[in-house]
Each structure stands twice: as structure tokens, then as C-alpha cells.
A and B are shown apart, each in its own frame.
Chain A
């Protein structure tokens, strides 16, 4: 039995209040915008739906979008779990005038959600979103 006290629990600041995470998010989203002008809105949010940062928020209610994205992410995870098809990698909502792509930032309770207009192909949107999620993880490491 190990009687030594464990390391003190890190003072975990929620990501949406953590300046380092906010900075990493802003940098990631700015880089993402450079890769795609078709990116009309993007946000990083905590798993429980608090917005950490967003890009191009003029026409979108960021707080509400973050809550909805978190619900959608959790429901999609539940479906993947129910069907026993492994980990849910992306969520795609393809609509007439745009598509939303969501994915998790590996190793963190953070979701990246991006809205592209239809000038972007889904394939390109996916690849940009994946690069951004990886970049976010890297900046937070």
C-alpha cells in the first residue's frame, strides 16, 4: 500500500476560463480561417457546452450554438455506443446552405464545431477540421 500522499490535484480551471486554452483556441481558429474562406463560423467548446472561443460570431449566437453542439456530440456518441461501432469520430450536419462538422480535440474534453458554406466540399471541410483539432491539441500540450 502506498501511504505517501499523491501529488496535489492540479487546480483545474475550466477551459472556457483558462487563458492558455482560450489563446490556443483563438490561434487555431485563425489558422483554420486562413485555410478556408468558406468557414462561416467556428467554435471550440467544452464537452458540457460552454464556449471557449469562436470565430465570425456576428450572425450566430455562440452560447446557444455551443450548447447545441455539445448535445449533438453527446447524442452521436450515444448512438455509436448503442450500435457498438467504436468511437464516434465526426458529426456532420449537411444542410442546403451549409454544413456543420464537429469533432473532438484528442485527449481533452473539448469539441471543435465548424460551419462551412456550400462552396466547400465536405471532404475539404473534414480535412481542415481535422488539422485544426490536431493543432489545438498540440498548442495545449
Chain B
């Protein structure tokens, strides 16, 4: 069975934990703690270490889903988990202030994974705030990375079908990269 590891990253409250819970076939491993930073995201809990879930696609491909904490204070977890991933699913909540700049910041924070793996962007909470649009994000990404086409979707992390489409796009891109540049033999 083929296996892939993908990482869910993005700002606090963008829906990483929610997305992994929507997708996972196993009971997720979660590390939620009571959230005291209500100013950044008004929700009960926040992730302080990781989320972990698994999903099988096409009956033959297992995808391990890792989520990181959104808060930069936990960036040591970002490096620990980014190291094992081949794909990055970056969720950005549309209601975040300066959300386009924020997206570019998170991409920069995960530049090492971005450089060697596949990336897909999911714009969440566009029901809460309509702008910027997917076209706005795409334009900013094209300006920043002219040689690349980074897919951008709107997605609701609470919706398993929508998340699945996003994940399948990412996995297809991971597989394409592996075909073009095979991973080094496991030791």
C-alpha cells in the first residue's frame, strides 16, 4: 500500500483540526488545550502539539494527516512535523486581517516543505467574509512564485466531501512529484 504524509498548516482558527476530524477514518489523536488567546480566535480550544488522522483513498493509498498548532509560539512543532511530510495543505481563514499577506507569511514559514513538496491552499470561512476572492489569492501567489501554479480552493473544513477534493488534489500532486523525482530509498 502506498503511503503519504501531508501536513495541515495555517493560522489559528483556520480549521486545521476541524478538517482532520472531517477526513479521518480513525479516531484522531488530538492535543487541544483551553484557549486563552480569544482575541486571535474566539474558540474554546487550540491545538498545542499536533492532530493526527488517517484516510485511505482508492483502497490502495493511505494518507497520514498531521495538523500543527497555528500559533507561532509552537513553531518548533512546525519543524518537527514538516520534516516528515511530502505535501502541505495550507488553510487560510478569509476573515483574518490581511489574509493574503498572512498566507504568504505561512508559506514562507514552511518554505522548506514548499521547496521539496506539493502545496495546495484552502481558503476557509469565506461564508464569514467574502473578500478576498480565490482570484485575489491566486494573483498574489503568481506574483510571488511566477514559475509555479499553486492551486487555491475555497473550502469548508466541516464538510468532508469538500476537504476530500482538496486532499485528492494534493495527493495527486505529491504522486506526480514522486514519479518525476523518486524519493530516496528508505533505510
14 more contacts with CB within 8 A, not counting A47-B48, A71-B48, A78-B31, are: A14-B36, A48-B34, A48-B36, A48-B48, A49-B74, A71-B69, A71-B76, A74-B31, A74-B32, A75-B49, A75-B50, A77-B31, A78-B49, A82-B29
B contact residues vs A (CB 8 Å cutoff) = 29-37, 46, 48-50, 69, 71, 73-74, 76-77
Most buried by A among B34, B35, B36, B46: B36
Whole-angstrom distance between the alpha carbons of A72 and B48 in the complex?
Answer: 9
Q: Is the CB of A46 within 8 A of B34?
A: yes
B49 — which chain A residues lie within 8 A by C-beta?
70-72, 74-75, 78
Q: Is the CB of B31 within 8 A of A47?
A: no
B77's nearest neighbour on chain A, judged by CB, is A71
A67 — which chain B residues lie within 8 A by C-beta?
48, 73-74, 76
Whole-angstrom distance between the alpha carbons of A68 and B75 in the complex?
Answer: 10
Q: Is the CB of B73 within 8 A of A74?
A: no
Distance of A13 from chain B, by nearest CB (Å): 9
Whole-angstrom distance between the alpha carbons of A136 and B76 in the complex?
Answer: 29
Q: Is the CB of A71 within 8 A of B34?
A: no
Distance of A83 from chain B, by nearest CB (Å): 12
A13's nearest neighbour on chain B, judged by CB, is B36
Q: How many cross-chain pairs have Cβ atoms below 8 Å apart between A and B?
A: 60
Whole-angstrom distance between the alpha carbons of A77 and B34 in the complex?
Answer: 14
Neighbour of B34 across the interface among A16, A47, A68, A82, CB < 8 A: A47
Q: Is the CB of B35 within 8 A of A48?
A: yes
Distance of A2 from chain B, by nearest CB (Å): 23
B29 — which chain A residues lie within 8 A by C-beta?
78, 82
Interface size on A, residues (CB 8 A): 22
B31 — which chain A residues lie within 8 A by C-beta?
71, 74-75, 77-78
Q: Check A40 for interface membership: any CB of B closer than 8 A.
A: no
Q: Is the CB of A63 within 8 A of B30?
A: no
Distance of B91 from chain A, by nearest CB (Å): 19
Indicate with 1 or 0, residue by residue over A80-119, a CB within 8 angstroms of chain B CB atoms. 0010000000000000000000000000010000000000
A15 — which chain B residues lie within 8 A by C-beta?
36
Q: Is the CB of A49 within 8 A of B73?
A: yes
Q: Is the CB of A68 within 8 A of B36?
A: no
Q: Is the CB of B30 within 8 A of A49?
A: no
Distance of A12 from chain B, by nearest CB (Å): 9
Whole-angstrom distance between the alpha carbons of A46 and B36 in the complex?
Answer: 8
Whole-angstrom distance between the alpha carbons of A70 and B77 in the complex?
Answer: 11
A63 — which chain B residues lie within 8 A by C-beta?
73
B77 — which chain A residues lie within 8 A by C-beta?
71
B74's nearest neighbour on chain A, judged by CB, is A67
B75's nearest neighbour on chain A, judged by CB, is A67
B35 — which chain A residues lie within 8 A by C-beta?
48
Whole-angstrom distance between the alpha carbons of A73 and B48 in the complex?
Answer: 9
Q: Check A50 for interface membership: any CB of B closer than 8 A.
A: yes
